Amino acid sequence: MQNARTMQSPVNRDGGIREKEAARPLVQVLADTSDKLSGVRSILEEKFTVAGERLDADAKLAQVPSAIVIRAELRNVDNIAAIKKRAGKLAKARKRIFLLEHTSHVGISQAYALGATLVLPGIVNRIKLLAALSDPADDSSAPSGGTTQPDNAVETAATAIASMFTAVTLGQPLDVDGTREAGRQIADRITQHGLSEWLTTVRRHHEGTYQHCLLVTGVAIDFGLSLGVGRADLERLYTAAMFHDIGKARIPLAILDKPGRLDPEERAMIETHPAAGYDFLKGHDGISPEILDAVRHHHEYLDGSGYPDALCAESIGDIVRILTISDIFAALIEHRHYKPTMPRTEAYDILCGMNGKLEKALVASFKQVALTR
């Protein structure tokens, strides 16, 4: 077997790809050590043409790859500077996947700030990485034309979510206006291209809590549009949706991204996030009482069985009711590498079965959003 030094590169001296390798998608791998570089290459080379570079070397690749995979320590300022120097090429790749071994909310936020479309935290997992480089199996909701729209709104919104998580973790000022603007861009995107296109694009590029926030915002916007809410109420709705899970910045990633069932202690920790988000936001200018109410109470049910305040029907406002339905539906249809994506029809049936917990008339109105839009 050839080692990493003697293995023939698919890249010519001029940065082009050898003819026999050109039929397979090109993936560029960037890493801060040779060991990391060879480790990722060994995973990808059976399915992709792979071009690898260390971050401390000069950039050589002339072609734009279909995807870029970066495995580097983002606590190292030299690595961050090297990635920024390649920003032009990064922006042209459709997928930009960061592999982070030392995981934290700050590290994930840093990756998104550097242009990531997806962050895979933890030990490098071959199955997860190959799945991330392939589109989700469930593309049944893709637009019939088969084309995808530019991902500017997705990236703007993901960056805004990353920024808010960083603000919570580090105690920094929160960019309320930037988050609201990201929500407005999502509303414009969905108005022009529909909910199905948004769901497909988000699930293709994002994972975990970030994917969930983007899905909830899109679903809530489309639900509001279908109900004919006014512009001011729509703005409150998408701002509340963008902020609704900000309290999860206080929850360890090992719990947030756990593939199996949570134990009672982990469940109790998860259930602190609405109050934690409310406590962080309540001191900020530009956060209205309606948004604070939605952040704190989006897990409340009409029968009083929700949390954190066990509110009953008359105490739960309209925006909260809309957001709760959107949140549950989005959680059910998320794309995760460890489980199949639930069909939208099945997710809607679950909502219909939550008798006494959700407003029946709103669930009925949600049917066209869930199944047809």
pLDDT for residue 53: 92
Helix or strand run (H / E) with residue 146: none
pLDDT for residue 13: 45
Amino acid at 143: P
Q: 3-class DSSP state for residue 68? A: strand
Order of strands across the sheet with 118-121?
A: 49-54, 26-31, 67-71, 95-100, 118-121
Pair type for strands 49-54 and 95-100: unpaired
pLDDT for residue 135: 58
Provide block-wise average pLDDT over 10 residues at a time, the chain (373 residues).
42 48 80 94 92 88 86 90 84 86 76 81 86 59 40 77 83 88 93 91 72 92 95 94 92 80 93 95 90 96 96 93 97 79 94 95 96 90
Distance CA 111, CA 163 (A): 11
Instruction: Please provide the DSSP assignment of 247-293 as one string.
Output: GGGGS-HHHHT-SSPPPHHHHHHHTTHHHHHHHHHTTSTT--HHHHH
